[in-house]
Amino acid sequence: MSDQNSGAAQTTAYALCSLAILCWAGNFIVARLANLDVPPVALSFWRHALAAAMVLPFVIPALRRDWPQIRENPGSIAALSFLFVVGNTLVYFCVQHTTVINAALINAGVPVVAVFFSWLILRELINRWQATGIALSFIGIAFVVARGDIAVLRALDIRLGDLYMFLAVICWALYTVLFKRAGIRVSPWTLLFMLCISGTIWLVPAYAAELATGAVMSLTPTMAGSLVYVALFSTIVAWACWNQGIVRIGPNRTSSFMNLHPVFGSALAIFFLNETLQPFHLYGTAMVVAGVWLVARQYRTT
């Protein structure tokens, strides 16, 4: 491949990764705007169910080819789909209790938390620079959660939404590490379909419990638009772009685009929700981004 073609392929990959992050940032906005019309578990349940239904006609050939791998790994697929949908569902609870800006900043820590779990579970070695990056990112997340006031941490006066978001980060990081450990070799579309359909099944008891509390969806244009966005853009389009990014430039460089989540999330929250960017957001973002950079840089050079 010529240098010109290689450069064009890289530029396309960067655009696809950026679009994926923009779709995921928009997911936070939609969740906040749909708060009164769509309860959180209902939004997650129908997000994954509709995405599975949309993908199914296109995934049947790959599904047939990948079925032996699926049959050999039912436990791994069940565990991965559980982490996948729990992380997604926690976001919808999160934005009911904290700002979208806070959620986006905490979410930027996913790559670093994944490296920590790689060390803990896969026993992958971490050098001193990576350890520094992990520590710096955790400090940055704590700074955002504490709203720039250490007394908040001492008093354990932590917003429930920030806790939900941190738990979501843990779920996605664990998913990344356990997927690598499982070694399931299926096409990206088969994986997406299986995650969505299995995740929908996982959500049935939670959805039933939510309905039992009297929390039901309101049939409004906001409800319909929210479901279309989270199924089509947050799930199918975002994952398709992200998977193409991984194929074209590799997982480590792709994961570095998570740094754009605070940028896109903050901009969208300020524009659509009139949220305010505070100084502690900037300081926390700087520490998280610096930590991710240290981890990613060491991966590329060691």
The stretch 136-149 carries a mean pLDDT of 72
> Residues of the chain with pLDDT > 90: what percent?
35
Closest CA to 118 of 133, 107, 105: 133
Within 10 angstroms of residue 279's Cβ, the number of other Cβ atoms is 8
Residue 300 pLDDT grade (very low, low, confident, very high; cuts 50, 70, 90): very low
Q: Which residue has the higher pLDDT, 27 or 242?
A: 27
Q: According to the model, what pLDDT value does residue 228 have? A: 94
Q: According to the model, what pLDDT value does residue 26 have? A: 94
pTM over 0.85: no
Tens-digit pLDDT profile for residues 85-97: 999 999 999 988 8
Tens-digit pLDDT profile for residues 241-299: 888 887 777 766 677 677 778 778 888 888 888 888 777 777 777 887 777 677 666 44
Average pLDDT in the chain: 83
- Supply the DSSP symbol for 220: S
In this structure, is the dihedral angle defined by the CA atoms of residues 72, 232, 101 and 249, taken in order, positive or negative? positive
Backbone torsions φ then ψ of 36, nearest 5 degrees = -80, -20
CA distance 174 to 38: 28
No. of helices (H) and no. of strands (E), the chain: 14, 0
Q: 77 and 175 in contact (C-beta within 8 Å)?
A: no
Residue 134 pLDDT grade (very low, low, confident, very high; cuts 50, 70, 90): confident
Amino acid at 253: R
Residue 3 pLDDT grade (very low, low, confident, very high; cuts 50, 70, 90): low
Q: According to the model, what pLDDT value does residue 110 have? A: 80
